[in-house]
Structure 1
Amino acid sequence: MYMSTITGNTIIITVICQSSKLQCPMYLFLGNFAFMEICYSSVTMPKMMTDLVSGNKQISILGCVIQLYFFFVLGAIENYFLAVMAYDRYLAICNPLRYMAIMTNRFCHQLAFMSWLVSLTGSLFPIYLLSKLSFCGRNEIDNFFCDASPLFNLSCTDTSLLKNYFFSLVWIIVFSCLFFIILSYLQIILAILKIPSNSGRKKVFSTCGAHFTVVILYYGSVITMYVRPSKGYTFVFDKCLSVFYAIVTPFLNPIIYSLRNKNIREAIQSCKWYYFVMQCTGH
């Protein structure tokens, strides 16, 4: 699954860079999103696979904090990119005459750059506070990567204030981006309903169908994991959810975007290396 995630997202990035038809804002954001997914899965899966092969499941406190930092950063970036991509679809469908004037290449690069910058810098302070916690006892994390909740539970110091701050920050990021996405899609749905023909409505909705599917998969698992009461849920349930949004979702995203996007499929099939691969595999 890890190799498929890397390969699928790398193909999307390569196709977007090589195809002149895909040099537009929607695919610029998709290329950034694919790169983020590669980084996101690489934060946890290589370490997990190494642990499974070697049997040595130790990690230093510093290494654990660094892993959590990048996991938190890339999770925040995913929220920002999903919101930005929803805004891009809103402009394209609800304001098509002004779309190219508003969503210029410079503005797209600025949005992508700000998403990375805000996530990288905004995550430093909470992770710094978490790194100052004292740990004692067995220090055994019941998970396949360093997440915030297990670290709070292992700490010998009082973490109630830091825990409230950390999860409040997560809630703000998740729900502000989700609210923006829902608002954008409400406007998109209203615009689609005004289209007289069924074929026209289907064609317009297909341009945002892949993004909408990814939004449901991602937010469904993240909200269940981080934005719900702590009582009534076991660590086994949390680990299953962690596997879904940290491993399964990055694996599914390139499949969703390539299968549901006609331009991506055509661009992949027009590449010379695509025919070379097909000949080598006998297809």
Structure 2
Amino acid sequence: MREVDEEIREIKKEIIESRGLIIKTNNLTNALAADIKSIAKRQAGYERRFVWNSWIAYILFASLSFVGLWLATNYRIAEIEGEKERLDADLAEVRRELNEASAQAERRARAETAAAQFYRLIRERRRTEVVERWPELRREQLTRAEGAFFRDTVDRFHLDLSLEAYQHGLDLMRTGRYAEAAEALQEAIRLKEEAAHIPRVKYELARALMRLSRQPEARVLAQQVVDQTIDRELQDDALLLYAAASEDLEDIDQARNALRTFLRRWPRAAEAVSVRRHLADLNRRVMRGQVGARRE
């Protein structure tokens, strides 16, 4: 009986221990379940963060790729536009040079035609037309050789025409046609103002103007002949002409000064005796107050 009680106690004890183990096991199971739930929640959160991070990374990568592609495209577009502008500028420069070359070729062709016509006038010795057309032709695009040849020819024709006009003026002077002679002599001066014969032309023109009662102009020309050094042989005659013009203008002081200068510079000239007499006559007239008297 005692053994049965002990077994019953043992059985109770085992039951109590089993119950404790069951409770512990249940608690551990609950704790494990809670841990599993917590781990599951953390895993779900990690997975959500991973998905979001993946999307963010994808969007960031796509954005960076788009920005990079946009920058590269803009750079290429700018490069192409710059190249296009450079090509446009080169094209405009080429067109400008082409237009200039075309215009230059046209000017040269026009100059060649004008030069050929001008040369024909030279060969035909149509000197007046050559001289008249030269100012227009010289503006054309002539070569250096053409320009030099035509310039020398025109200068020679100027001289020839000036000499012809001078000779024509002398012929008119001999026939008493002083107005026409003055025009011819003025034309001779205009044609070749710095030629060697121009002092003589001016002297003859002064004589013609004296005949036309244009003493002021005659005196100016006579003074120019006196001052020039190209033809010194004319200076004495020009000085006497200056004195005569001054006397006609009743400028007796200038006339006397001119006569004194003549006697001082050419005391042994053929006219010296008559000049001394006339100077003495002028001095007497001045002393008498006859400053308005004119020579016959």
Normalised to the residue count of structure 1, the TM-score between the two structures is: 0.26
Choose 1 or 2 for highest CA Rg. Answer: 2
Larger RCO (CA under 8 A, 6+ residues apart):
1
Normalised to the residue count of structure 2, the TM-score between the two structures is: 0.25
